[in-house]
Structure 1
Amino acid sequence: MMRSLWTAASGMIGQQFNIDTISNNLSNVNTTGFKQNRPDFEDLLYQTTRTAGTPATEETLVPVGVQVGHGARVAATQKIFTQGSLQNTGNVSDVAIEGEGFFRVLTYDGTYGYTRDGAFKIDSNGQLVTSNGYRVMPEVVMPEGFIRESISISQDGRINVRLPGQDDPVEVGQLELYRFVNPAGLQAVGENLFKVSSASGDPIAGQPGFDGMGKTIHKFLEMSNVETVKEMVNMITAQRAYEFNSKAIQTSDTMLGIAANLKR
């Protein structure tokens, strides 16, 4: 069988994966704190029929070899952790990260998750939690009878509230941020959460605004960093590449048909 059939097929499989990735990016264009995915491709093995540098005569060498490739495959999918735009929500429990870092939350199985989604809530116990009920770590618990609209979060993560009958606010907690040597190595697990992996390295804790950490911006949320125009252009490119590979398969099939119909 012709090698081009399998080579072009590998290209179609790769472009299908590319479209799947683009679709996921576009579907999360309004997901708070979402970071776009980028697929990376690599070429497959080459068949060498003549090696460069092979002696041609006693005094000369072959300047270039003869190689033919076998297509492409997906090498990796990478999260692009560029800053998303900040949106003013006016909600007193919303907080965005401007710069590097993640919030840490405690999941139901007792492990830690890391997120850029600062759409926090205050539960019936006065505790700061995520939309899925995961507790923000270190724990932040509002005092009984606090005035909700008096909540303020400074750029260095200090949380203050005012109590009835008091004019001066009271500090009730401190937000911490965590960064990683290789954030692209974090494992995305859904629910806007990431988990630590051996590739990401251990989390490095710090106070917002210090030691390379980003600042916490109160009453704002970080939106997705997906650029819709760029994703649409990538989709068109992937679609055309898929078509080109399908044309290569059709051409190979036509050539096989011509060979099969040869007569003496």
Structure 2
Amino acid sequence: MDVSSFVLLSHEQALRRRLDVTANNMANTSTVGFKREQPLFHEYVEKTKEAPVEDAKKTSFVLDYGAVHDASQGAFQATGNPLDVMIDGPGYINVEAPGGGVAYTRAGFIKILETGDLATSGGQRILDENGRAINVPDDQKTMVTIAGDGTVMGRDGPLGRIAITTFDEINVSPRGDGLMEGTRGRVLTAREARLKIGGVEASNVQPIVETTTMIDILRSYQTSMRMTESLNDMRKQAIDKLGRVN
């Protein structure tokens, strides 16, 4: 393979990556709290000392540099459950990760476990500002309310406050189990935290936008394939001419 083929191959790999990300976005159109992803690519320029012309000394390849989340907020979906919450602004709810540690989510479905601990719909316990589970006494399970700053109120007063952590989106990545992991986060204070009660956040994926992106990827791939075919034709013609000269 010559340099031009490697360049086209790097482009096609980038298109495949874009397609994978776009397909995942489409699959999560109805996933509560899901943030659409956007792939990032990095240009890698390889320089050679010798080339037929000066411009040919630099060859540009496409490298996969990862993905970032679109931080725009999804719409509010009322659920009728007074414990369900939607974060109004940036941030993620702190939950206990499977296997230990802290994970994060925007999906605000909240329930009370048999143990009295507040948890997500997947059963992960919700953590307070000190990294501890928020427990509701048995005799207060029907009286629990959540305030706009995340404070969980029982009959006799506050039971804890739901921890909400903000990150630079570049520092947040999916764990693969519906939760997120993040680094360099900051827990919001009661004054900074804002929750809407009685509903959850819808996915911010726009199906029309993702469909348009898929069409663009397909057309780009078709163009790349036509260029590959043209290069193959050029090689065949060159080989044919060399054979005739010999």
- TM range, smaller chain: 0.7 to 0.9
Aligned to 1:12: 12
The within-5 A match list for 1:1-264 is: 1-47=1-47, 66-67=55-56, 68-138=58-128, 139-146=133-140, 148=142, 150-162=143-155, 170-180=157-167, 182-196=168-182, 200-201=183-184, 203-208=185-190, 210=191, 213-262=192-241, 263-264=244-245
Distance 1:71 1:243, change over 3 A: farther
Instruction: Please tell me whether the aligned partners of residues 150 and 193 of structure 2 are also in contact (alpha carbons under 8 angstroms).
Output: no
**Structure-1-length-normalised TM-score:** 0.81
Q: Which runs of at least 4 in structure 1 moved beyond 6 Å after TM superposition?
A: none
Instruction: Please tell me whether the aligned partners of residues 165 and 188 of structure 2 are also in contact (alpha carbons under 8 angstroms).
Output: yes
Q: Which has the higher helix share?
A: 2
Q: Give 3-state SS (helix, strand or coil) of 1:71's partner.
A: strand
Q: Say which is worse superposed, 131-140 or 65-74, in terms of deviation.
A: 65-74
Deviation at 1:239, TM superposition (A): 1.0
Deviation at 1:107, TM superposition (A): 2.2
Deviation at 1:2, TM superposition (A): 3.8
Distance 1:116 1:125, change over 3 A: same
Deviation at 1:161, TM superposition (A): 4.1
Instruction: Please tell me whether the aligned partners of residues 101 and 178 of structure 1 are also in contact (alpha carbons under 8 angstroms).
Output: yes
Task: Find the aligned partners of 1:207 and 1:47 in 2 and give their Cα distance.
Answer: 51
Instruction: Please tell me whether the aligned partners of residues 84 and 198 of structure 2 are also in contact (alpha carbons under 8 angstroms).
Output: yes
Instruction: Please tell me whether the aligned partners of residues 41 and 74 of structure 1 are also in contact (alpha carbons under 8 angstroms).
Output: yes
Instruction: Please tell me whether the aligned partners of residues 7 and 61 of structure 2 are also in contact (alpha carbons under 8 angstroms).
Output: yes
Task: Find the aligned partners of 1:251 and 1:225 in 2 and give their Cα distance.
Answer: 41
> Over alpha carbons, which structure has the higher Rg?
1
Task: Find the aligned partners of 1:233 and 1:183 in 2 and give their Cα distance.
Answer: 24
Task: Find the aligned partners of 2:219 and 2:54 in 1 and give their Cα distance.
Answer: 31
Instruction: Please tell me whether the aligned partners of residues 43 and 69 of structure 1 are also in contact (alpha carbons under 8 angstroms).
Output: no
* Letter in structure 2 aligned against 1:152: T
* Letter in structure 2 aligned against 1:205: V
**Structure-2-length-normalised TM-score:** 0.86
Count matched residues.
237
* Letter in structure 2 aligned against 1:66: D
Deviations 1:83-121 (A, max 9, x none): 111111111221110012211112232211111111122
Q: Say which is worse superposed, 152-161 or 119-128, in terms of deviation.
A: 152-161
Task: Find the aligned partners of 1:101 and 1:5 in 2 and give their Cα distance.
Answer: 44
Instruction: Please tell me whether the aligned partners of residues 68 and 169 of structure 2 are also in contact (alpha carbons under 8 angstroms).
Output: no
Instruction: Please tell me whether the aligned partners of residues 4 and 248 of structure 1 are also in contact (alpha carbons under 8 angstroms).
Output: no
Task: Find the aligned partners of 1:65 and 1:255 in 2 and give their Cα distance.
Answer: 22
Gaps of 5+ in 2: none
* Letter in structure 2 aligned against 1:22: T
Deviation at 1:204, TM superposition (A): 1.7
Deviations 1:117-167 (A, max 9, x none): 11122111221012232211122222223363x4322111222345xxxxx
Task: Find the aligned partners of 2:4 and 2:61 in 1 and give their Cα distance.
Answer: 9
Deviations 1:217-262 (A, max 9, x none): 1111011111211111111111111111111110000111111212
Gaps of 5+ in 1: 52-63, 163-168
* Letter in structure 2 aligned against 1:195: E
RMSD value, Cα: 2.3
Task: Find the aligned partners of 1:94 and 1:124 in 2 and give their Cα distance.
Answer: 18
* Letter in structure 1 aligned against 2:10: S
Percentage identity across aligned positions? 25
